Amino acid sequence: MEPRRAGTAIPAEVLAAVRRIEIRTRRLVDEVFSGEYHSVFKGTGMEFREVREYVPGDDVRTIDWNVTARTGDPFVKIFEEERELTVVLCVDMSRSGWFGSGDRNKVEVAAELCGVLAFSAIANKDKVGLVLFSDRVERFIPPAKGKSHVLRLIRELLTFAPEGRGTDLNEPLRLLGSVLKRKATVFLVSDFWAGDFTRSLATVGRRHDVVAVRVRDPRETELPPVGLVRWVDAESGREFLVDTSNGAAVARLRARARLHDEHLERGLAGLGVDLVDIDATASYAEPLRRFFLAREGRRGRKGRR
């Protein structure tokens, strides 16, 4: 699906694509992810609910001294867990995202994946926002609730035409660091073919829960032996020939990709950022489900300590 310039009419095929994603993702949310999302992503704060009379055993630190002074009897504040969470989908829209060797390109896979996360969030009464970026922040849609809002986010993901070609993850992370005043969950969706962004991620990660979602197409690193192939770097526009029948050349390409990935994975692990790997030519449901189950398991172990 080709990106659409802002201000142009929405073609019927785009609306049909949004509807198909809604149907598929809502079914997954209802059947698979809703309960797991609810158990993993919970509000992180406490909000005041009411006051009641003090009873022996209550924590004296919760005494409401203003009410106690007015009534002459001790009262304590009652708090409850703050359920509402803010989720931000931060999605890489650089030119490399429009590559796909299967039925869908990486951006289309990301749009459907984000649909699952967004519908899971609103089913949990959470707010969802969207940041689209390339080598700059292209668009920011503030967090909100509701089905119509989620459908708008999916439509933007499917049709937005970025101005930038490359990838710079520092820019969206800096934006999130400035606009998110309360703790949020940030899904950073990218192929992560980018320069260093460790410092920006560390800053955001100190305050927010960041999950890295790596969407890759296997043909980016594994080339079939078909002889000379003209390779075009979608982000830089550079063209070069690769002899896919040359085992040494293919091995070098594979080794560079492996070193890049090892560096990325060490960096994320060092910052405590979870990584979810998505193959753009396969189903995203199972790796996402494994992520939810792993998170739920970790929360359970912490609760038993």
Q: Which tokens hold the place of 161? A: 């035409």
% residues pLDDT > 70 (the chain): 89
Q: Which domains are seen in the chain, by residue range?
A: 12-41+84-304 (3.40.50.410), 46-81 (no CATH)
pLDDT at residue 1 in the model:
55
pLDDT digits (tens, 9 = 90+) for 245-278: 888 888 888 898 899 999 999 999 999 999 999 9
Q: Say how far apart CA 108 and CA 92 lie, in whole Å.
A: 12
Say which residue, 36 or 270, is predicted with more confidence.
270
pLDDT of residue 214: 97
87 pLDDT band (50/70/90 cuts)?
very high
pLDDT at 30: 84
Contact partners, residue 247, CB within 8 Å, separation at least 6: none
Instruction: Please tell me the distance from the alpha carbon of residue 257 to that of residue 150, in angstroms, as a whole number.
Output: 34
Residue type, 43: G
Question: pLDDT at residue 43 above 60?
Answer: no
pLDDT in tens, 276-302: 999 999 999 999 999 988 887 776 565
pTM for the full predicted model: 0.81
Question: What does the buried/exposed string (b/e) look like for 208-240 if buried means 16 or more CB atoms within 10 Å of the residue's CB?
Answer: bbbbbbbbbbeebbebeeeeeeeeeeebeeeee
Give phi and psi for 273, each to the nearest 5: -100, 125
What one-character DSSP code corresponds to residue 224? Answer: -
Cα gap 9→47, rounded to integer Å: 44
CA 37/CA 48 separation, integer angstroms: 25
